[in-house]
A and B are shown apart, each in its own frame.
Chain A
């Protein structure tokens, strides 16, 4: 499996758990193309903050690296990294040491 697929799978698992914990029905069965935040995305800002923290924690547990997904780069990006599973996976990979 490519690195991106690994990260996407990890994010999909986390989205599922978040959807259960916060009872977000539309996100119970996410896939890589699922929209998360912004136009047609079901997350509100608080759920997004939770998901970002979950991803950062999971990356730290699994790969022993510390990344920050809510940084100036993400906030000012032309295309928001938070809009979908796949865009979040790209943002994670950009921030991982090669």
Chain B
């Protein structure tokens, strides 16, 4: 990993990040890496938890882990204790580490069962994808945490280009507006939901956002209407789509035009194909495998079925049209309804439950549930009991916003439950 240090050393007094009122130079960042190295266990390869709430320190720890050839497990410290416990369990019980040479990175996404779905990257291979990043003078806003492939991609692209990461005090439209204005941010990567909130909160009218030159969107489908609004609100900014999956890492794509949802895969290291409208990718940075092999199967020859449905204009331009699965996407965060159902079914008096998504103009989708019960309670009582129960087990955004009590759960003609 000598190229990482060489690059960072060459950037020495450039500003690596603004976080919590402090500017960090690249020399400061190297010092954080050195400090993190001292605190790592010596000897055999181990799983090391990384706190994601302080972004730059978290990134320094991640790079220290790469050098020390340990395995990083980034976890935001505000996750409910039970969710953390389930993630740790999946991570520690896995037998996959024997396949790992060098350092590892564990990322979690929503699983098909009630257990979180963990996956293992070869961290060096993932980082090597940024080796040839050229020098840039960007000031890039870091919105996502570094337990997410999108957050890591933003951070690595920026830091290995000698640019500056701007980390807002809070992940709210207002705090982002303030950070853009005060630090003259020119690259703003966010999900369509967040851009929508930014417009709804009238941030462009309250703050000077004229420094923004690039709006980078991804993680969920972008509504055409919102794209047009963004183009109108930021007339001087370019609109760029981003694409990647936890399994493949981020891949380089290029939007065909600013106001078009079509993009081209512009990545010499990535092959792609479409089977039954689903996009398949082959990248050098594909995961080694899932921590629990029952949770997913990978093609032996390196291909990965993304689960994203695409439309191909026959000239090599693609547009994402939806997901193959029923995973619910709430403002760019994805959850499998089964995970929530497994918690709801434990609520006293609930006999049967179905969790599903509903369209919502604020977050794209929201989570709704139907329950079957013989107990006679008012809707508001049910809701409160449901929330209190879920709060102990799930992140707040995974708690259903709507609940209905029904007589029975519907099934389809094949005797399967209707989704």
Interface residues of A (CB under 8 A from B): 17, 21-22, 37-40, 44-50, 52-54, 57-58, 61, 70-72, 74-75, 80
Is the pair B362, A48 in contact by a Cβ cutoff of 8 Å?
A: yes
Given A39-B206, A46-B330, A46-B397, also A61-B380 (CB < 8 A) = yes
Is the pair A46, B361 in contact by a Cβ cutoff of 8 Å?
A: no
Given A21-B388, A39-B206, also A45-B380 (CB < 8 A) = no
Is the pair A45, B361 in contact by a Cβ cutoff of 8 Å?
A: no
Is the pair B362, A45 in contact by a Cβ cutoff of 8 Å?
A: yes
Contact of A70 among B174, B197, B361, B391 (CB under 8 A): B361
What DSSP secondary structure best describes chain A's contact surface?
Answer: helix
Residue B202 CB within 8 A of the other chain: yes
A48→B172 CA distance, assembly (Å): 13
Is the pair A21, B391 in contact by a Cβ cutoff of 8 Å?
A: yes
Q: Which residue of A lies closest to B386 (CB)?
A: A21
Contact of B193 among A45, A53, A54 (CB under 8 A): A45
Contact of B366 among A37, A49, A74 (CB under 8 A): A49
Residue B396 CB within 8 A of the other chain: yes
Given A38-B201, A57-B380, also A75-B174 (CB < 8 A) = no
Interface residues of B (CB under 8 A from A): 172, 174, 193, 197, 200-202, 206, 330-331, 360-363, 366, 378-380, 383-384, 387-388, 391, 396-397, 399, 401-402
A97→B172 CA distance, assembly (Å): 35
Q: Which residue of A lies closest to B199 (CB)?
A: A75
Contact of A44 among B172, B200, B360, B380 (CB under 8 A): B172
* Complex interface: chain B residues within 8 A of A71 (CB): 361
Given A21-B388, A44-B172, also A57-B197 (CB < 8 A) = no
* Complex interface: chain B residues within 8 A of A57 (CB): 379-380, 383, 402
Contact of B379 among A21, A50, A61 (CB under 8 A): A61
Q: Which residue of B lies closest to A17 (CB)?
A: B384
Is the pair B201, A39 in contact by a Cβ cutoff of 8 Å?
A: yes
